[in-house]
Amino acid sequence: MLAGLSAATALAGEETVHLTDAPAHDMVASRCVTCHSLDYITMNAPVLDRAGWEKTIRKMIDRFRRSDQ
């Protein structure tokens, strides 16, 4: 899933985040934006290593899991 978190911002002053086309792309694009924008990924990428991302994602899944799952 972490492979799908790599992102890049567009040029021309627009802060549009584009996720890398990876196996978890659709899930990340649809579920993460339920609570926050995708630029959360680029804002935290410099400070979180793989273990940090796994802990953060696990926290979000555990605390904010949709009731229909």
Model pLDDT for residues 19-67, shown as the tens digit of each residue: 788 888 888 888 888 888 888 888 888 899 999 999 998 998 898 776 5
Nearest-angstrom CA–CA distance, 4 and 66: 21
The reported pTM is 0.56
Q: Are 27 and 57 in contact (CB under 8 A)?
A: no
**Better-predicted residue by pLDDT, 1 or 21:** 21
How many C-beta atoms lie closer than 10 Å to residue 41's C-beta? 19
Q: Are 38 and 17 in contact (CB under 8 A)?
A: yes
